Amino acid sequence: MSGQQAFVDALLDFGPANQACPSGLATWNHSDPARRFAVYRNNVMISLIDALADGFPVTQELVGEAFFRGMARQFAIAHPPRSRILAYYGRDFPSFIETFLPAASLPYLADVARLEMLRVLAYHAADRETLTRDEIGAALADDSELTRRCLVLHPSVAVLQSNFAVVSLWGAHQGLGDIAAVDPTAPQTALVVRIGLDVNVVGIDAATGRFIGRLIQGATLADAAIYASTAEPRATEFDLVASLGVLLRWKTICEFSAFSEFSAPGTSER
């Protein structure tokens, strides 16, 4: 193992019995290298916790800052960063929350975190032009091959189907409603899409969520519609026209394609 790798491994070992200061380190003022290294390691930990707090602000508000930072510290110990891109640190945080016993009394917390992670991914997704209403209208006018085509959606588009009121919980912390009036156990489906630099969270019905999720995965219009109409549980009847209206309203359609070349943050069913 190289000296550089040994330094990195020791730096990211946040456990209680963490690795000792790597050998060969020296300080300019002849102070104790081990003590200085411990301070540096602690600063790295604080930076990771701060990054999680920035990416999951509603999750933090739901549990309070002290609880969140303690949970984030435990996550950082178990999941040190493996990428230089700090904005994406926390992809595994929602799954960690799901198994974090002190948070068991808030079963919706993991899905709120999932929604916040999808917003981060949407914000950093690639830019791509979307079709105008006239271009979409022209494509829809020729229905001879339409049902066998795929809709290529904007790279920021994602769907979260949850057993909890993730849209309302998130919205209440944006001033969009009274959190005291939210029933956290009410299932909701969220559409996430970026328009310009604004990441939008839109509540949609479950059938529309299944339809859009299938399109993201590369299904044809016909296959996505069939899946949305027949998949269980069926809380709502699928309305193809209304679902296409959602996609039009939020400017999500980039292309009508014979096959899908698209890869997005995706869909998650809870």
* pLDDT value of residue 87: 84
Question: What is the rounded average pLDDT of the residues 141-146?
Answer: 70
Question: Which segments of 56-175 does DSSP mark as H helices, in order?
Answer: 57-63, 65-78, 93-99, 109-123, 133-141, 166-172
Give the count of alpha carbons within 13 A of 54, CB side only: 11
Q: How many other C-beta atoms can be found within 10 angstroms of the C-beta atom of residue 55? A: 22
Give the pLDDT band of residue 20 (cuts 50, 70, 90). Answer: low
Structure tokens at 114: 């999932």
**Is a pLDDT exceeding 50 seen at residue 265?**
no
**Is a pLDDT exceeding 80 seen at residue 58?**
yes
Question: What is the rounded average pLDDT of the residues 170-198?
Answer: 94
Contact 48, 72 (CB under 8 A): yes
The pLDDT tens digits for 123-140 are 999 999 999 988 888 877
Between 40 and 128, the higher pLDDT residue = 128
Give the pLDDT band of residue 82 (cuts 50, 70, 90). Answer: confident
**Is a pLDDT exceeding 60 seen at residue 40?**
no
Contact 20, 38 (CB under 8 A): no
**Is a pLDDT exceeding 80 seen at residue 201?**
yes
Contact 166, 190 (CB under 8 A): yes
**Is a pLDDT exceeding 80 seen at residue 5?**
no
Q: What is the pTM of this model?
A: 0.85
Contact 63, 71 (CB under 8 A): yes
Backbone angles phi, psi at 218, to 5 degrees: 105, 10
Question: What is the rounded average pLDDT of the residues 154-158?
Answer: 98
Give the pLDDT band of residue 27 (cuts 50, 70, 90). Answer: low
Q: Which of 196, 195, 213 is nearest to 204 (CA)?
A: 213
Structure tokens at 180: 């005291």
